[in-house]
Structure 1
Amino acid sequence: MQIHRFARFALVGAAGFLVDIATLYGALAIGLGLYLGRAVSYLSAATFTWAVNRRFTFSTSASPSLAEWFRFVLANASGGLVNYITYAALVTWAAGLLAHPALAVACGSVAGLAVNYAASERFVFRKDQDSDVGHG
């Protein structure tokens, strides 16, 4: 693992966290609830982090594609599952976090970070994937 690349990935993740929180509170405001709202906010943050990571963190020259986005979301599903389970457990059993779900989102984000980085580096933004444009 390249420490600078991991630091960029974490920085993008921090920005994604802000997207996640803003979307979650917007979803809560329109009545989606803590669980469906979180699913919507996670997908919003995942799309944002895919778009930024592909250029800023992994410097891919491939054109963005739905297939690459899907690989990113799929490859990061394990980290996303760790993220969501952590969040759900905290808002379910840590009563104090019901009033501050952003803290539960933060804990989930940290829990999924290393898993998401490894999956992104190995399965989404590999250098040999640049030649895979149009396949996939």
Structure 2
Amino acid sequence: MLPALTRRLRQARSRHGALLGQALRFGVVGVIGFIVDTATLYLALWLGAGLYGGRVLSYLAAASGNWALNRAWTFRAAGRPAGRAGAARQWALFLLVNLVGFVANYGTYATLVALWPLAAAHPVVAVAAGSLAGMTGNFLLSRRFVFRGA
């Protein structure tokens, strides 16, 4: 009985350790995505896209980069769909599944920009708050539906 219990505890610790490792890698990718998001937003603002349209563009750029990094690093053990069509489907599924996080992310951003003058003057504050709001849901949904074998 004791060896069976020990084995089960070891397996549970291994699963939780793998989950924690994925969550940490997902967070690192999220920080990179935040940098891409912010840089793209400021470029779009400079080009005249506006606070809201620029944010849609910046989110798409960041989400696409995050998909590629999560596919290659965070969830590399999940297996990959074959060919370009499989990768394109996985990218589209990633964007679709992460719409939940996008709603939290963009909603937080838009609320702060609209109601807090500091965030409107320095959109990076609102981008950061939005990123944090969407990250947890994105991790859980991506792990469950996009990178299933992880």
Give the TM-score taking structure 1 as reference length.
0.90
**SS of the residue 2:129 aligns to:** helix
Q: Does 1:126 align with 2:148?
A: yes
Q: Which of 123, 126, 143 is the aligned partner of 1:104?
A: 126
Q: Is the 8 A contact 2:119 2:126 kept in 1?
A: yes
| Counterparts of residues 80-91 of structure 1 (less than 5 Å) | 80-91=102-113
C-alpha displacement at 1:61, in angstroms?
Answer: 3.4
Say which SS state the counterpart of residue 127 (structure 1) adopts.
Answer: coil
Residue 8 of structure 1 corresponds to: 25
State the partner residue of 1:51.
68
1:25 and 2:42 are equivalent in the alignment: yes
Bigger radius of gyration among the two: 2
**Aligned letter for 2:51?**
L
Count of residue correspondences:
128
Q: Deviations over 1:23-71 (max 9, x none)?
A: 0000000000000000000000000000000011000431461100000
Kept after mapping to 1: 8 A contact 2:79/2:149: no
Residue type at the aligned position of 2:21: H
Question: Any stretches of 5+ residues in structure 2 without a counterpart?
Answer: 1-15
TM-score of the two chains, using structure 2 as the length reference: 0.82
In the alignment, structure 1 residue 68 sits paired with structure 2 residue 86:
no
Same amino acid, percent of matched pairs:
47
Deviations, residues 60-109 of structure 1 (Å, cap 9, x unaligned): 43146110000000010000110000000000000111111001000000
CA distance in 2 between counterparts of 1:79 and 1:61 reads: 23
Cα distance, 1:113 vs. partner? 0.6
- In structure 2, what residue type is equivalent to 1:35? Y
Q: In structure 2, what residue type is equivalent to 1:3?
A: L
Question: What are structure 1's unaligned runs of at least 5 residues?
Answer: 129-136
| Large movers: runs of 4+ above 2 Å | none
